[in-house]
Chain A
Amino acid sequence: MSCHGPASDPDLGRSTTATLPATLRVLLIGGPNVGKSTLFNALTGARQRTMNAPGTTVELATGTWRTFANGTRDGATERAIVDLPGTYSLLARSVDEQVSADALRDLALSSVEVTGQPGVAVVVIDATALTRSLYLLAQVAETGVPLVVALTMLDLVTTATDSPTAAVSSNTLAAALAAVLGVPVVPVDARNRADVGRRDLARAVDVVAANPRRLTGIAALAPSSCCGTPVAVAGAAVADLAQELAHAENLFAWVEQVVEQVSRFLATEAGVESPTTSERPPRRTFSDRVDTVLLNPWAGIPAFLAVVWLLFELTTRFAAPLQNVIGQLVNGPLASGVTWLLGLLGLGDSWVQGLLVDGLLVGVGTVLTFLPVMAVMFAALGVLEDTGYLARAAFVADRAMRSLGLDGRALLPLIVGFGCNLPALAATRTLPHARQRLLTGLLVPLTSCSARLTVYVLLAGAFFPRNAGTVIFGMYLTSVLLVLGGGLLLRRTAFRDVRAEPLVLVLPPYQRPHLRTLGMSVRMRLGAFVIGAGKIIVGTMLVVWVLMALPATGQHAIGDAPVADSVYGLAASGIAPVLAPAGFGNDHAAAALITGFVAKEVVVGSLAQSYAVAGPDHRPAGSLGARLRESFGKSSGGHGGSAALAFMVFVLAYTPCVAALAEQRRLFGWRPTAWALGAQLVTAWVLAVLVFQVGSRL
């Protein structure tokens, strides 16, 4: 590429910052799974945050992309960078895709209305899928925004695919593309820590911001006619589609032409034998060979089930012991430390100690004990995504989803739901139709999120110590059956109009997950969990403590009342009789279910707290299981096991948490949310009663 403007100075430094605006806007745009987010993480490091796109629940990652002059720490150039949702086309078919198209249109409009440098689009192109990526590139060029091409997946071109460009080195391919396209093309390997591509990319972006180049062969359209009008989301009229298709045909022809020119360039300049597909015999890649097993009609489904089974073995056998260690640390040394410190301050045995140790510390402890499970779940989902298996899982499950009127893509939100219902609800946005999104969004709360796992781990460990793993697996199976049953019921009643969309999924080549990238994403998600959910959890624990500390009768001082005589106990006692037919009509269980309404994470904490506060004698914390067996045994007439199972089923089926309710309301409105809330409570009660009544008679 030729270099004009400030960045032609090899020292990308002070001279550049002087001519560029304080913060250049950079949009990262590209297809799904092209390595866009990996590039974003590599460019921003920790200087990023997530926010919702205005008026939507589509998450956008924004960050600061900082570069220094020649490796020094001065002369920093900062750019505001946004990682847009992956899209194959600017003619959006989902709200996520619309967010990308809108962001690009805003950038294009500001380039017309505002003089100077508005911003740059970095179009991320998958070197293994040139034709698909080039089509999007052409659409971006039509908006008229200055653009730079970042070429990714180069490590896969030579090894993992039979792509037409397979025999070509990354620099040669980038040079060929740059020559044909007329815009800077930068090969990047974001997974490599010492990547020179990132510096080149920064330089190219700054050059293009000052001196935009036109993509050869593509003219910019008027801003009003670019970027896909919102009507494309709802499904445009056939006449509009015909018009769009006619226009797209021009772009397809341009793509063919570019591919042809690139191969000719490579043949003459680099001496690479014509690498176009037409002359190459089909080659079986490594991924093809793996897929003969993992997508086999007979082996595919067992393989899928094995992966899911492994996920839960990891969360129970691996994460649970860590959870215990953290719990013991908080309840033991940390609690004693705080108590000792308060004693020194003359606050020992006061309500302040109660608030801090039994309220705040229990809350913080709950959040901390939750970290290993969440980390394992985030890491596992990350591995499934990075290796490329998640797309296969969606394909394998397509048939099962199809019977619900959903396509395989609905499985992704539902699988994510087993980690946390909240991101799962946001992920329903990838489904192309509003009714499919609503149906999936109503089923997501039935997926057993990892917060509910803490309840299963506690109760299964206390009541079925020898078969805890099997009981927990059974809960997940019940969750799957509830999703299927709920889906079939809804499909035959309120959702008769929902039909499955054709499934067309790009299967990325299998890859080894990259530990640094994975660690980074787990850290980000854990941080978001601690900040987002942690606040609610600690806040709830404090409120619970206050309610427990406030005596309902005048006979006790604040913080000195037994639970039964507190405001909280009074409310729980009022609800307990309703739960009696399910065998857990005791105040502790009722109280825990009330707090579970706020978040399932607090059920375990609330149980622990209510037993801890219960007696004036401070029994050791380790006996929670014994106390559970005692009170569940009493409320069920000696069928504690059945009552515990019924309790777990209730926890599985009723409202996941206040946050999920709020998210549902935001996505789908009040009416479906209220309707779902009522249905969940009724379902939970009926199922729990059924489990207890049958179980206690066996």
Chain B
Amino acid sequence: MTLRESPLGKELRVTGVRLPAAAAFRLNEMGIRPGTLAHVTQQAAFGGRVVAVAGSRYALDGGTAALIDVEPVQRRR
């Protein structure tokens, strides 16, 4: 599943970033890297997504959101 396909509010773990190397590197530096927990807080126009990571909100364009792979987190209750 990609970030673009993820439903609102579902807890996710980033599994991969398939952007060009330089862009993926900056994304990693900004805090979105494999292993980080995330959830989509807003679905904007043209596939754009707002993603919550460690308390921050990141706006990603639709194309970028479609290149970030995620998996649902199974929460222990």
Contact = CB atoms under 8 A, between A and B. Distances in A.
Given A129-B54, A277-B55, A88 B29 contact: yes
A281 B33 CA distance: 20
Interface in A266-298: 277-278, 281-282, 284, 287-288, 291-292, 295-298
Interface residues of B, number: 39
A161 B54 CA distance: 10
B48 A398 contact: yes
A93 B20 CA distance: 14
B58 A506 contact: yes
B64 A504 contact: yes
Interface in B14-31: 19-23, 25-31
B9 A163 contact: no
Contacts of A245: 25, 28
Contacts of B2: none
B56 A503 contact: no
Contacts of B63: 500, 502
Contacts of B11: 281-282
A582 to B, nearest CB: 39
Nearest to B75: A281
A135 interface: yes
Nearest to A244: B25
A162 B63 CA distance: 27
A238 interface: yes
B58 A162 contact: no
A483 B44 CA distance: 24
Given A399-B46, A502-B61, A284 B55 contact: no
B60 to A, nearest CB: 6
Contact of B25 (A164, A248, A287): A248
Given A501-B23, A504-B26, A284 B54 contact: no
B54 A504 contact: no
A288 B44 CA distance: 12
A424 interface: no
B60 A288 contact: no
Contact of B29 (A89, A391, A402): A89
B50 interface: yes
Contacts of A112: none
Nearest to A134: B31
A408 interface: yes
Given A504-B58, A504-B60, A132 B30 contact: yes
A504 B32 contact: yes
A686 interface: no
A300 B55 contact: no
Contacts of A503: 48, 59-61, 64
B33 A297 contact: no
Given A245-B28, A407-B61, A129 B21 contact: no
A277 B54 CA distance: 7
Contact of B37 (A161, A277, A395, A396): A277
A91 interface: yes
Contact of B30 (A300, A506, A509): A506
Nearest to A284: B41
B45 A163 contact: no
Interface string A234-255: 0110100110110010001000
A241 B25 contact: yes
Contacts of B19: 502
A677 interface: no
A659 interface: no
A295 B55 contact: no
Nearest to B9: A282
B50 A502 contact: no
Contacts of A396: 44-45
B50 A295 contact: yes
A507 B28 contact: no
A395 B44 contact: yes
A128 interface: yes
Contacts of A504: 23, 26-27, 30, 32, 58-60, 64
B39 interface: yes
B25 A507 contact: no
Contacts of B46: 297, 398-399
A98 to B, nearest CB: 14
Contacts of B60: 502-505
Interface in B34-77: 37, 39, 41-46, 48, 50, 52, 54-61, 63-64, 67, 75
A254 B22 CA distance: 22
A88 B63 CA distance: 22
Contacts of B52: 162, 282, 288
A552 interface: no
Nearest to A235: B22
A301 B44 CA distance: 10
Contacts of B54: 129-132, 163-164, 277
Interface of A: 88-89, 91, 93, 128-132, 135, 161-166, 235-236, 238, 241-242, 244-245, 248, 252, 277-278, 281-282, 284, 287-288, 291-292, 295-298, 300-301, 391-392, 394-396, 398-399, 402, 407-408, 500-507, 509
Given A88-B30, A282-B41, A502-B19, 12 more contacts: A89-B26, A129-B55, A135-B31, A161-B55, A238-B21, A277-B54, A295-B59, A301-B45, A394-B59, A502-B23, A502-B67, A505-B60
17 contacts: A89-B26, A135-B29, A161-B56, A162-B55, A164-B55, A236-B22, A248-B28, A291-B42, A291-B50, A295-B44, A297-B43, A297-B45, A301-B45, A395-B44, A395-B48, A399-B45, A506-B30
Which 10 pairs across A and B sit closest by C-beta, in order of nearness? Answer: A163-B55, A503-B61, A502-B64, A297-B45, A395-B59, A507-B57, A505-B59, A399-B46, A295-B44, A129-B56
